[in-house]
Structure formats: C-alpha cells, structure tokens
Amino acid sequence: MSTIFQSQRAAAIAALAAGAFTVLGFAPTGFWPIPFLTLAALWTLWRRAATPGNAFARGFAFGTGLFGAGVSWVYVSLHDFGLMPAPIAAFATLAFCAVLSFYPAAAGWCFARLRLRHPLAAAAGFAALWAIAEWLRGWVFTGFPWLAVGYSQSDSPLSGFAPLAGVFAVSAVTALCAALLGVLVSGERKTRVASLATLALVFAIGGVAQRTSWTAPQGEPVAVALLQGNIPQDLKFQPERYFATLATYRRLIDASNARLIVLPETAIPVFLDAVDPRYLKSIAQSAMARDADVIIGAPLREPGGGFFNSVVTLGASPSQRYDKSHLVPFGEFVPAGFGWIVKTLSIPLSDFTRGTPDPKPLAVSGQLVATDICYEDAFGEEIIRQLPQATLLVNVSNVAWFGDSLAPAQHLQMSRMRAMETERFMLRSTNTGVTAIVDPHGRVVGRLPEFIEGLLRGEVQGRSGATPYVKFGNVPIVLICLALLAAVAFHARRSVGAAGESR
C-alpha cells in the first residue's frame, strides 16, 4: 500500500511540475514547444492512472501548477490595489486556481473512464477532452478562458488553425500533437509511423492555413495614434489626481496628428456627465478641425440609475458609444450571494450594468470599428458579434490592476489571437501597457514599453470579408471534438467486446 501511495504522490508531483512549466509556453517567455512536452507528460500520466480518481487527481495537480504559476497575478489586484487583507487575498487566489483546476481534472476523469487502449485513439480522445474542457472553462460561470493552451502557439505553425476554428481549435491540435509525441516515445513501430505522419500533416495544414487569406483590404489606410497615460492605479481615482489626468490626455491628443486616436479604458476616471463640458467640447473641436475621431474610455451613467463601463467617440463623425457587456465578476459586477467579498475590497465602480449583447461597430475615421473593453478580449466568440461588418478591432484596457506581472503580456497574446481569428488589425490602447498595434496575422508591428507615458503612431488598413471562425464561431470545433469522443468511445467499447469474445 505504501508503494502505491508513493507512486501516486510522485505522479501528482510530476503533473504539478508539468503544469507549472507549461506557463513558459505563454507570453512573455513564449517558448511554444514546451506545452507539447508538458501535455505529453500529462497524457502519459493519465494513461498510466489505475483509476479515474487517479487521473482526476493528476489533472487537478496539473491545473494547480498551470494556474498557480500562470494567474497568480490575481493576488496583486486583490491585495495590492483592492486592499484585501493578505491572508484573505491569498486564500481567494488559491480557491480561484482550485476552481480552474477542476476542468483538467474532470477531463482526466473522463479520459480514464473511456479506457482507450489503442495509443492513437487515446491521443485523439485526449485532444478532444482537453479542448472541450477549455471551451467549458471559457463560458461556465461567465467564463475564464485565460491560459487556453492554444494561445501558447501564437508564433507556431499551429496558429494557422485560428482563422479556421478559433483558439480552442489551436488548443485541440496542440494537445493532439503532444499526445502523438507521447506515442512516438512509448508506442509500437506501426503506431510510431502513424503518429509521425499525423504530426507532419497537422503542422503542414497549419502552415498552409497561415498563408491563406480570407479577407481583403478595404478603403484607404488610416493613420492611428494609441495613447498610454501611465496613470498609477493607486492614484487613478484620487480626486487630487483628476485634473492632472485630464491634462495628460489632452496633451497627448494634441500631439497625435492622426485620424483615429484611441484612449485607454476609463481614461477619464469619473462619470462623463461630471466632466466640464468645455473640456470635451475642446477635444471634439480639435479633432473635427483635423477630420479626426477620438475614442475615449469613460464610465457613463443614465438617469434610470444604471452605469456602464463605456467608450465614447468625439470628433468628425457623429458621437457614438459602446458599453461593455462581459463584466468581470467581483471587479465589475457582484454575483448573487457574494456581496460580502466586495466589502473586503476597495475597488471603485465595481457594480456596472451590462451593455447590449448585440453591439454595433463604431463608424469613425472611415472605418467600422469593433470595440471591446479589457477582459472582453479574452472571448473570441463575443468579438465576432460585430463582424464581418467591422473593418478594424480596438481594445481599450487598464491592466494596471495587475502591476508588473505576467498579465499584460498574456493579455497582448490574446489580442494577437483575436487578430488572427478575424484577420483584422487590432489596436490596443492601455493605461500602463501593453499598448500595441497587431496586424491581421497576429504580428506585433508596433508597441510601447510598459509603465511609461507615451503615444504610439502607426498606419493600419481596414479589411473586409470573413474567416471561417467569424462565420461559425466555436461551434465547429465543439462538434468535431464531441464526434471524435463518440468515435473513440465506440472503438473502445468494440475492442473490449472483441477481447471478451476471444476469451
């Protein structure tokens, strides 16, 4: 019994370490081959699990390593800026990581229950279960798709699957390739040959897809300017800082000389109706004189009592607004029964009203701009609600809540994936970073250093047309994975039946 216990403990430690090392595959390090090795290790550990419970425990350990190392910046927002007491913030962060770890744990339990004896069937089942688990994590309880393994492949040939079926498709083929590596190491000669051939085919398809264009240029290029005010988060909402903040952004706007100027999320840190009308009028008049438009992040409130995390436009085009619809739990809305948690935090404007679930692009500067605010950038299927009409993507963010952590680089990586999925330029204006211009192939063609005040200038080209992902969203990859699971389950059942008859 002690030997079995030690074996289980060693497997859990190996899974924990594999999960933690997987984080190196994501930004900012971006060593994209690493997830192939760590997921191959997890596949091997699941195949060797004696019971579904063992596989569940190993999946949970992997998730604990992955999320414990990869999203520990949640503690920074809770404690450093939300002023939650350190013990409570630490417990909340650990509990959050534990909830996220349930998804790979559940995938491991299902994998063991399928009893997939053939290595190639086990590889297919592993890939399908991993992608389904990530997809579920992306929408259950409003969703948290951060660190979907597909993001780690933003610079690999597998990113070519992004415009075909989105980030979860990239996750699926990444998990498949990882399992096939496991087959190469441990399989028989026939399965090794088949595994190697499948690996080559997957990478070839990804490479061809990278060079395939689904959209076309539309209209003339437009000069853009993305503003980064670098307002410290602990001072942003202090009344004594208010006028200095307005002066900073007015100075940057005047220096922009672009047709489309974008300010970060809540660049104006008070309700827009509380701002001196002369300030907003002067910005609008200055922009109109240059045939320009300015997109400004600001909270809005309505006479009925609701208030919104929004952007508004000022300038040559008619004034428009976009209201954030996918709000951050506890940070921007309070789930029922959890008001006690918010009482331990010091977060201004923490109970917003949801915007419409069917937003329209902003018609500015000769473009139709699909706008999203901060956290919304993590949800590809929500971004495509405004496409194919939209010609550009714009994200306004304030990731200063997470300090000098992994979060800003991870968020930029997700923006890159949104650009690849839609084949549109992505413009990111942030308070402290990472402010960047991303081209339709996901390449960062311009960026500002973090934690400086700055102005990023560039020229971007609007695009028309629709990638397969824009047309169909996540539905195809979910259906493919479910069909694959049904097929391998049927194969496993037939194999068990045939073995029973032979005896």
Residues 186 and 226 grouped into a single domain: no
Residues 172 and 240 grouped into a single domain: no
Domain region containing 403? 217-325+356-471
The 3-class secondary structure across 21-89, one letter per residue, is HHHHHCCCCCCCCHHHHHHHHHHHHHHCCCCHHHHHHHHHHHHHHHHHHHCCCHHHHHHHHCCCCHHHH
- CA–CA dist 327, 39 (Å, integer): 31
191: in domain: yes
Q: Does the pLDDT at position 321 exceed 90?
A: yes
478: in domain: yes
From the candidates 97, 134, 324, 376, which is the catalytic residue?
Answer: 324
51: in domain: yes
267: in domain: yes
3-state secondary structure at position 240: helix
pLDDT tens-place string over residues 444-480: 999 999 999 999 999 999 999 999 999 999 999 999 9
From the candidates 97, 110, 177, 374, which is the catalytic residue?
Answer: 374
Residues 96 and 237 grouped into a single domain: no
- CA–CA dist 190, 214 (Å, integer): 38
489: in domain: yes
Known catalytic residue at 177: no
Residues 450 and 481 grouped into a single domain: no
Predicted local confidence at residue 123, as pLDDT: 96
Residues 109 and 236 grouped into a single domain: no
34: in domain: yes
Exposure on the CB side of residue 214, measured as CA atoms within 13 A: 25
Counting every residue written for the chain, the total comes to: 503
Residues 196 and 226 grouped into a single domain: no
pLDDT tens-place string over residues 277-304: 999 999 999 999 999 999 999 999 988 7
Residues 125 and 156 grouped into a single domain: yes
Residues 252 and 389 grouped into a single domain: yes
What average pLDDT does the structure give for the chain?
92
pLDDT tens-place string over residues 24-36: 999 999 999 999 9
**DSSP 8-state class, residue 270:** S
46: in domain: yes
Known catalytic residue at 324: yes
Q: Does the pLDDT at position 493 exceed 90?
A: no
- CA–CA dist 2, 9 (Å, integer): 10
Residues 48 and 168 grouped into a single domain: yes
Residues 371 and 234 grouped into a single domain: yes
Give the CATH number of the domain where residue 434 resides: 3.60.110.10
For range 124-145, the mean pLDDT: 96
- The total domain count for the chain is 2
Enter the pTM of the model.
0.94
Q: Does the pLDDT at position 268 exceed 60?
A: yes
CA angle centred on 326, ends 323 and 330, rounded to 5° = 110
pLDDT bin (cut points 50, 70, 90) of residue 1 is: very low
Residues 369 and 311 grouped into a single domain: yes
pLDDT bin (cut points 50, 70, 90) of residue 339 is: low
Predicted local confidence at residue 344, as pLDDT: 57
pLDDT tens-place string over residues 205-238: 999 999 999 999 999 999 999 999 999 887 888 8
pLDDT bin (cut points 50, 70, 90) of residue 305 is: confident
From the candidates 97, 110, 134, 265, which is the catalytic residue?
Answer: 265
For range 308-314, the mean pLDDT: 97
Q: Which residues of 225-248 are buried (b: 16+ CB within 10 A; e: fewer)?
A: bbbbbbbebeebbeeebbeebbeb
pLDDT tens-place string over residues 152-198: 999 999 999 999 999 999 999 999 999 999 999 887 778 899 999 99
Closest to 421 (Cα-Cα) out of 247, 225, 89, 167: 167
pLDDT bin (cut points 50, 70, 90) of residue 88 is: confident
Higher per-residue pLDDT: 114 or 329 = 114
335: in domain: no
Residues 140 and 200 grouped into a single domain: yes
Q: Does the pLDDT at position 335 exceed 70?
A: no
Known catalytic residue at 471: no
**DSSP 8-state class, residue 257:** -
Six token digits for residue 182: 């496991």
